[in-house]
């Protein structure tokens, strides 16, 4: 139960601050049944934001109580009810601008004054571009940025930390849909389904160039990046009889890794039959897979990428496919979406999806609900559930 | 003592070593015939009179046509065993074979993984609605304009398996990893151990309560068009159907109509009623995922299958019994 303590402070403009002291954590709610039954404990795995002192989240003006402002950058598609329900504790503002310069002008006009919490949708990249210090300076009151996505590469986390802004993303919820996509792409690439699926549509059934595929059973799957998604790919691949090994910034416990073997980066490249990219994109991981890495891989390796296009050098991939070093690839992401290297488009052996990794009704809704919950938590309790790993030092120890 | 003769109908693609090893215990011969007429003539000419065992492939139907009463009647008297390289053996009229004292084997188990894998690929492809996106991308339209409707997650969905044989049971384990609960209809309920805890339901309940319906039953007189107009009407609106069994267990035209009406939201098919012909209503539908009968087409599985079938031949030659007789002849 939240106890409100009101402190009247006589200011020149007769403003009153509503102060909310730290409250006990609320339980997560509103998730589809299957997410509730997962045994992984969400609370224990992510850094919780600290709230050691009360945070001012509302301003009272001229005798009427104004609710704290929350900013929607982008759009809400499924959880409109949940977003509207925020009106009982906050005043939602929607960004009207559709490009970066208009956004900065809109901010300058005072439209975002007093905004402390923002919901940033995946599609808002076209509105603000990179979420960096310039954008942050335009909303100086911002303290909480809730990213509706597992990936958050468009947000400059160190700029946010410097500006005193805490950032949360959506862990766990995207794991299933993304790993399901990875398994689909892996099967499609290993089994060589794409060429004959294409010839069927032209009236030839299997077609003259149809190739025999390979079974996953007994093959070595190498996972680059053993986060939530990587671990789910590992678990599902295991059921198809694959042996799993991984490279990660740090080695995981036996329990967490599900028995997968921890190997060095070069060993991952040199001994994997299938390589799945499941790492976040940042300054350290851009083009982590490029010409030199393809040279170290096994002949006829199969590559799957559901992470971010730029972790792999797309032109180098095309070269390796053309030389036959890489037998096939399954891709959901590309370096310069929506542009795709023409060498991929005209290659029938690869199976290509247009970044649909989490595009299911159930996952999209659950992600929006989760992020709106964090917006509410920021307003009511002055904290977020699940800061991004780079801000772990801001969390409770 | 003269070695028995084994007739090869079709090709050996992978297990050359194992096939050639048979030459120490048998004469290996192949037909000259390239059509059913020619084959019947060749039988009548006495060319195969010494044959006691035949190895046949699925594709050899291009030479012999179906192994039906007409064909079985002209096979040499001494031919007592047909080792079929495939799980599905609907090309063979087993009843006619039994009448003529011919024992038939198929290849179970070795096919389970590869078939269940393509089955799972099709379930994901259809549920997630991937095909529309894949086509839009290749046509240069990225996600498509307008983008297609969102797909669905398998987690929490009910998978109904029609035919809980080796392939159905293999599929269930894989589907469970994606959070699907399985229920099944089978000629008879399985033990708890075999069924892995899946719920045994009636045929009508399977139709009415499954979110995804997977066809994993053999094709025979009883199962032809077991899924047709009436059955589509009993299914949940928006059901997803996957077929890796045989095309003819489902009425393809009725399926197209059900897709057009929206009763069936999407489907994933590896098999078709009149392969290699595919109903134009399916080819033209971007929302369905279609694979041209690739169920067991991997280097590893094709090799395993050939070896299994060759072992049936060896067992027939050396012991006078087949290793894996078809179900209908288990008590023969």
| pLDDT, tens digit (0-9, with 9 covering 90-100), for B41-71 | 999 999 999 999 999 999 999 999 999 999 9
A209 touches chain B (CB under 8 A): no
Provide the pLDDT for residue B145.
86
CB contacts under 8 A, B 283-302 vs A, are: 283, 289-294, 297-302
Catalytic residues of A: 308, 337, 355
| Confidence at A39, pLDDT banded by 50, 70, 90 | very low
As a whole number, mean pLDDT of residues A57-84 equals: 80
Neighbours of A273 (CB within 10 A): 20
% of chain B at pLDDT higher than 90: 97
Reported as a single tens digit per residue, the pLDDT across A141-169 is: 999 999 999 889 999 999 999 999 999 99
pLDDT > 80? residue A339: yes
Provide the pLDDT for residue A386.
85
Mean pLDDT score of chain B: 97
A328 touches chain B (CB under 8 A): no
A346 touches chain B (CB under 8 A): no
Bond from prior residue into B146 cis (ω within 30 degrees of 0): yes
Provide the pLDDT for residue A46.
59
Give chain B positions within 8 Å (CB) of A363. Answer: 153
Provide the pLDDT for residue A59.
46
DSSP 3-state of B213: strand
Reported as a single tens digit per residue, the pLDDT across A276-326 is: 999 999 999 999 999 999 999 999 999 999 999 999 999 999 999 999 999
pLDDT > 90? residue A38: no
Q: Which residue has the higher pLDDT, B306 or A60?
A: B306
Provide the pLDDT for residue A396.
55
pLDDT > 70? residue A201: yes
Reported as a single tens digit per residue, the pLDDT across B156-195 is: 999 999 999 999 999 999 999 999 999 999 999 999 999 9
Judged by CB atoms closer than 8 Å, whether chains meet at A199 and B292 is answered as yes
Provide the pLDDT for residue A14.
36
Mean pLDDT score of chain A: 86
The Cα diameter of chain B in Å comes to 75
Provide the pLDDT for residue B331.
83
Q: Which residues of A129-166 are buried (b: 16+ CB within 10 A; e: fewer)?
A: eebbeebbebbeebbbbbbbbbbbbbbbbebbbebebb
Of the residues A191, A349, A358, the best mutation for testing chain B's interface (the one with the most B CB atoms within 10 Å of its CB) is A191
Of A352, A353, A360, the CB nearest to B152: A360
Judged by CB atoms closer than 8 Å, whether chains meet at A354 and B173 is answered as no
| Confidence at A20, pLDDT banded by 50, 70, 90 | very low
How many angstroms separate the Cα of A75 from the Cα of each of A50, A172, A372?
Answer: 28, 22, 12
Provide the pLDDT for residue A3.
39
| Confidence at A12, pLDDT banded by 50, 70, 90 | very low
Reported as a single tens digit per residue, the pLDDT across B145-163 is: 888 899 999 999 999 999 9
Provide the pLDDT for residue B196.
93
Closest CA to B91 of B320, B248, B306, B280: B248
Provide the pLDDT for residue B30.
98
| Confidence at A13, pLDDT banded by 50, 70, 90 | very low
Rounded distance between C-alpha atoms, residue A339 and residue A356, angstroms: 15
Q: Which helix (H) or strand (E) holds A64?
A: strand A64-66
| Confidence at A37, pLDDT banded by 50, 70, 90 | very low
As a whole number, mean pLDDT of residues B285-305 equals: 97
Reported as a single tens digit per residue, the pLDDT across B257-282 is: 999 999 999 999 999 999 999 999 99
% of chain A at pLDDT higher than 90: 77
Report pTM.
0.89
Provide the pLDDT for residue A105.
97
Positions of E strands within chain B: 5-9, 27-29, 51-57, 81-85, 103-105, 158-162, 181-185, 199-200, 212-215, 239-243, 264-269, 289-290
DSSP 3-state of A49: strand
Determine which of A22-31, A221-230, A359-368 has the lowest per-residue pLDDT on average: A22-31
């Amino acid at each position: 139960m939240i106890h409100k303590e009101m402190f009247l402070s006589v200011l020149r403009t007769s403003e009153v601050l509503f102060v909310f002291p730290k409250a006990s954590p609320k339980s997560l709610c509103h998730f589809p049944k299957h997410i509730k039954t997962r045994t992984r404990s969400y609370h224990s795995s992510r850094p919780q934001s600290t709230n050691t002192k009360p945070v001012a989240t509302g301003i009272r003006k001229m005798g009427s109580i104004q609710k704290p402002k929350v900013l929607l950058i982008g759009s809400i598609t499924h959880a409109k009810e949940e977003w509207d329900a925020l009106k009982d504790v906050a005043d939602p503002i929607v960004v009207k601008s559709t490009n970066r310069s208009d956004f900065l002008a809109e901010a300058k006009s005072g439209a975002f004054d007093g905004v402390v919490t923002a919901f940033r949708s995946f599609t808002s990249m076209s509105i603000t571009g990179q979420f960096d210090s310039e954008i942050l300076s335009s909303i100086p009151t911002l303290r909480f940025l809730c990213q509706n996505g597992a990936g958050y590469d468009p947000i400059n986390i160190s700029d946010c930390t410097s500006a005193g802004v805490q950032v949360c993303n959506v862990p766990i919820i995207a794991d299933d849909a993304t790993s399901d996509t990875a398994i689909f792409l892996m099967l499609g690439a290993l089994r060589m389904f794409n060429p004959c699926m294409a010839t069927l549509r032209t009236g030839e059934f299997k077609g003259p160039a149809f190739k025999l595929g390979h079974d996953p059973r007994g093959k070595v799957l190498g996972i680059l990046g053993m986060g939530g998604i990587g671990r789910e790919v590992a678990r599902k691949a295991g059921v198809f009889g694959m042996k799993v090994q991984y490279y990660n910034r740090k080695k995981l416990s036996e329990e967490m890794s599900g028995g997968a073997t921890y190997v060095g980066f070069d060993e991952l490249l040199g001994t994997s039959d299938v390589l799945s990219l499941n790492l976040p994109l940042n300054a350290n991981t851009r083009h982590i897979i490029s010409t030199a890495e393809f040279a170290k891989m096994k002949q006829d390796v199969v590559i799957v990428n559901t992470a971010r296009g730029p972790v792999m050098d797309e032109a180098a991939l095309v070269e390796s496919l053309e030389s036959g070093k890489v037998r096939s690839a399954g891709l959901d992401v590309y370096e310069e979406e929506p542009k795709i290297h023409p060498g991929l488009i005209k290659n029938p052996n690869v199976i290509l999806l247009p970044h649909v990794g989490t595009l299911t009704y159930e996952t999209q809704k659950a992600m929006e609900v989760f992020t709106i919950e964090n917006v509410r938590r920021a307003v009511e309790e002055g904290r977020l559930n699940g800061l991004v790993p780079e801000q772990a030092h801001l969390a409770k120890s | 003592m003269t070695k028995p003769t084994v007739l090869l109908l079709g090709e050996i693609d992978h297990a050359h070593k194992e096939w050639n090893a048979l030459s120490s215990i048998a004469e290996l011969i192949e037909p000259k015939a390239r059509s059913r007429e020619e084959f019947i003539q060749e039988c009548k000419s006495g060319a195969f009179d010494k044959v006691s065992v035949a190895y046949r492939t699925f594709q050899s139907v291009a030479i012999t046509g179906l192994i039906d009463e007409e064909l079985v009647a002209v096979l040499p008297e001494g031919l007592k065993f047909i080792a079929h390289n495939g799980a599905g053996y609907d090309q063979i009229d087993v009843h006619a074979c039994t009448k003529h004292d011919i024992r038939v084997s198929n290849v179970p188990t070795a096919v389970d993984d590869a078939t269940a894998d393509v089955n799972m690929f099709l379930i994901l492809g259809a549920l997630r609605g991937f095909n529309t996106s894949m086509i839009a991308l290749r046509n240069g339209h990225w996600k498509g304009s307008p983008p297609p409707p969102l797909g669905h997650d398998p987690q929490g969905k009910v998978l109904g398996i029609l035919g809980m044989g080796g392939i159905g049971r293999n599929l269930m384990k894989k589907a469970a990893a994606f959070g699907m609960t399985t229920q099944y209809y089978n000629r008879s309920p399985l033990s708890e151990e075999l069924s892995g805890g899946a719920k045994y339901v009636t045929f009508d309940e399977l139709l009415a309560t499954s979110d995804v319906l997977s066809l994993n039953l053999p094709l025979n007189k009883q199962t032809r068009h077991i899924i047709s107009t009436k059955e589509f009407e009993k299914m949940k609106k928006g059901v997803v159907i996957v077929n890796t069994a045989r095309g003819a267990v489902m009425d393809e035209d009725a399926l197209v109509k059900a897709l057009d009406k929206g009763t069936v939201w999407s489907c994933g098919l590896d098999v078709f009623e009149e392969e290699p012909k595919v109903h134009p209503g399916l080819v033209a539908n971007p929302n369905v995922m279609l694979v041209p009968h690739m169920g067991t087409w991997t280097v590893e599985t094709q090799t395993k299958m050939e070896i299994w079938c060759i072992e049936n031949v060896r067992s027939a030659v050396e012991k006078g019994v087949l290793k894996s007789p078809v179900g209908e002849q288990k008590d023969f």
